[in-house]
Structure 1
């Protein structure tokens, strides 16, 4: 049996670190190490080692709750750089702004990424009380 074809190409540590980042993105107030380990299906020692590397790189910090970790704002900077590389936003923005003014409602612009949709641009109405709870990056 050839197990090599079933394994993803690349670094297992990198894949595991990215998995932790994705899990932590669902816990804005932090996630305890034990729960993170359980969700990731990894040993606590492995999770702790990966978190130390992410912490050293500035991507993860300790949350106020003892033993919990959360993502840092470094991801905002990276996300903004990725968004600015999408030329479609520059093309669509004037049209979305006009639509926002005409209808007086929230205007969202999303992009399909593989098997999911991500909100990449949002304009709230300048008047009125109605607001949406969608955030860029969701």
Structure 2
């Protein structure tokens, strides 16, 4: 895996020197994508001034970009509040990626089996920068303390899926990923030290699965296994999220870990050559 050239660039960051020197690099397209990415759960609606601040654009540049996205149907303005928001058409880009993804297509039946057998929500993630991205999920009727929908990103350093993925990488790549991550304590249980996290990754290499015990969300654990093809290339990770209200970590490791490992292997065997 090639390491990201830089941390996840916030919407407000300017193009790098390499990008500016690239004659094919389209800054107008970058601005459009920056506007779309500037909306999130904490910024569901914004004024033009707020969009300009979030993206680092001038007001005039933001106005032209937002107007273009309005014409194309990706952004709309509320008639009463006059604030901008994403429209349903913005889902097209992400949906087309998921719908055509060979890993997702291969994984879906096995995720369904895992969710049925374990009684817990089964999820598929793949690496994106210093995070893991949810690309498929099968939910159960059981209560789950945290909603983690497809499209959500979670940090590698403190999640079972991230550790499972990193367990397939050389030590120097793992260290580079951890050093590049903003390792903050999400809960009192979060491991932030590189040596401690590397120890968990090393354990995954021996056991075949990684764990997370309330390190990202309180009340939520994780058991994950990497998806590795016949050539030894990792493609992602599959995990279940047993809540602490129903499981202890020891019980989850004993019962759920073998299921997760089996699911990951089945997905890997179903990948196109």
TM range (shorter): 0.7 to 0.9
Q: Are 1:7 and 2:17 an aligned pair? A: no
TM-score normalized by the length of structure 1: 0.84
Distance across 2 between alignment mates of 1:41 and 1:65 = 26
Match of 1:16 among 3, 25, 31: 31
Q: Are 1:29 and 2:44 an aligned pair? A: yes
How far residue 60 of structure 1 moved from its aligned partner, in angstroms, is 0.8
TM-score normalized by the length of structure 2: 0.45
Runs of 5+ unmatched residues, structure 1: none
Q: Deviations over 1:62-106 (max 9, x none)?
A: 135633211111122332221111111121112111110111011
1:2-81 maps to which residues of 2 (within 5 A)? 5=18, 7=20, 9=22, 10-26=25-41, 29-63=44-78, 66-81=81-96
1:47-126 maps to which residues of 2 (within 5 A)? 47-63=62-78, 66-126=81-141
Call closer, same or farther: CA 1:67–1:45 in 2, change over 3 Å. Answer: farther
Cα RMSD for the two superposed structures: 2.3
Residue 85 of structure 2 aligns to a residue in which SS? strand
2:163 equivalent in structure 1: none
Call closer, same or farther: CA 1:77–1:16 in 2, change over 3 Å. Answer: closer
Residue 120 of structure 1 aligns to a residue in which SS? strand
Call closer, same or farther: CA 1:31–1:125 in 2, change over 3 Å. Answer: same
Distance across 1 between alignment mates of 2:143 and 2:37 = 33
Distance across 2 between alignment mates of 1:72 and 1:38 = 21
Runs of 5+ unmatched residues, structure 2: 1-15, 153-273
Q: Deviations over 1:81-137 (max 9, x none)?
A: 2111111112111211111011101111111134332101111113x3335311111
Distance across 2 between alignment mates of 1:41 and 1:21 = 13
Distance across 1 between alignment mates of 2:43 and 2:61 = 22
Call closer, same or farther: CA 1:73–1:41 in 2, change over 3 Å. Answer: same
